[in-house]
A and B are shown apart, each in its own frame.
Chain A
């Protein structure tokens, strides 16, 4: 589109670009395909030489063995519940905080915002032990509260919302709302939220995805099988000692990945747009 005459690389360079990019794209996609191949073939298919690369009809049989070994649907439901709760709360609290940092004047605003950013760089593992102790004191071990409450608002979300609101929401609109006598929350709900829907969509997808994929913290706090999130359930399948049944493991992995894959392919525009604008400004 922004070609300048004389800029076009030669035919050899063009061919090289395409071959390179296609091989890269193939490597990106192939494991997904192969996961499905192993999930649909009989249990030992992963160690065939030469490798099995065609889809077969054993998916149901494989997946039934997975259902015997784990409470798969329960764990899927648990993940869904935790992810939805975290996402809803992150969207609410981060957009409010981002709005305050973008459009209000108050003492120590810059210092506080800098502080929010600084917390982004603190490794999660540093606080894992005392947080575990707090959870034990609150008797939240093995409950979803331990997963949801600490994640209810996060620094990245505030940063992301602030950046978007500062550039997308104009002061005149807010002023108009004030002159009409609307209160702070009402202005936020009726004027700001409709404008920032794209940012909310992106942050929502990211938060959902990260919560769904989280492994470390659920591994630490969840004890009972019926409370496992889907990632822990998957890992448990892999730990079973009676030989590695890759057909079964891959069928469960496929089922756990499918929801995210569908969400991603349906909303890939939001994903990628969000990622880029987040990075540019940091």
Chain B
């Protein structure tokens, strides 16, 4: 029960066992209310995570008995050049898909937030529309755009550029996948940044103008430092999200009907998926999953560290 209700509770007479005070009753109710999450998490979250770590030291095909192999799965994965290809691909596509995206989102948000801009609501809805589309749908539409004689190469030609092999070239595949990510997520980040911008008090800008700060100085000295929590949030979310990249390249390159994805677009999660559900190597797949978690932790910590470094003078700059 709400803590403020405690005194009133004693006024209501109830015939209950004496150990079951109102206070205990309300605690028990609370535990009951939150228990579904913990029960489900124990079964489908915690146990699987521990089991994955355990499994990564065993050889197993998901049917027969498990054999302990020590670090061999890790050794196999880290000595597999295809794993490192998938690692590099994931990293390159993440950088290509998220850094320009976040900068673009920030610009759009600043322009949208400007006092002169009208039709704000309409713009917001239009920018957010891609995000509601399923990744499969986005990938299919973009595969049509990036098909051999498709619109993508026609646009390249308009700008006098050579056609790109979007679905087989080393850079082509990465560009195509990165553009799908950008298209689907830019609007989402615009909305996040916009809510951040709206939380900045306007008198800060007035004071800056009185001091003669230019528009650009205002952006660097006021907007960016005060937007920092939002930027950290979006960078963190994009990093975690792009390490888990799977659906776009899997669907985009899966069209040949073979069970394997072209190496140009192989990501770590596709590697994991193929090891487990293509080759039945559950042990190496588990080792890949553990490595993926380690990478996620390392990248998140690096983000936190970098943002703390950069934020050194944020408070000073804002006032």
Contacts and interface: CB of A to CB of B under 8 A. Distances in A.
A24 B111 CA distance: 11
Interface residues of A, number: 108
Interface stretch (B72-80, B91-99, B187-195): B187-195
B19 interface: no
Contacts of B125: 265, 268, 272
B interface SS class? helix
B84 interface: no
B18 interface: no
Interface in A160-205: 171-172, 174-175, 178-179, 181, 184
B49 A126 contact: yes
B145 interface: yes
Contact of B209 (A6, A112, A220, A257): A6
Contacts of B15: none
Given A105-B3, A155-B37, A246 B269 contact: no
A99 interface: yes
Given A20-B111, A116-B37, A125-B289, A179 B8 contact: yes
Contacts of A253: 136-137, 140-141
Nearest to B9: A178
B5 interface: yes
Interface string A234-270: 1100111100101001100100110011001100100
Contacts of A239: 254-255, 257
Interface in B130-144: 130, 132-138, 140-144
Interface residues of B, number: 107
A4 B48 CA distance: 57
B251 A35 contact: no
A127 B52 contact: yes
B204 to A, nearest CB: 12
B2 interface: yes
A99 B33 contact: yes
28 contacts: A4-B209, A28-B126, A29-B126, A31-B183, A101-B34, A104-B33, A105-B30, A121-B296, A125-B246, A126-B49, A129-B48, A129-B276, A132-B62, A132-B276, A134-B44, A136-B62, A158-B34, A171-B5, A174-B2, A178-B1, A178-B12, A215-B135, A215-B246, A215-B251, A239-B255, A250-B140, A268-B125, A268-B128
Interface of A: 1-4, 6-9, 14, 17-18, 20-21, 24-25, 27-29, 31-32, 34-35, 38, 46-51, 93-94, 96-97, 99-101, 103-107, 109, 112, 116, 119, 121-134, 136, 149-150, 152-155, 158, 171-172, 174-175, 178-179, 181, 184, 209, 212-213, 215-216, 220, 231, 234-235, 238-241, 244, 246, 249-250, 253, 256-257, 260-261, 264-265, 268, 271-272, 275-277, 279-280, 282
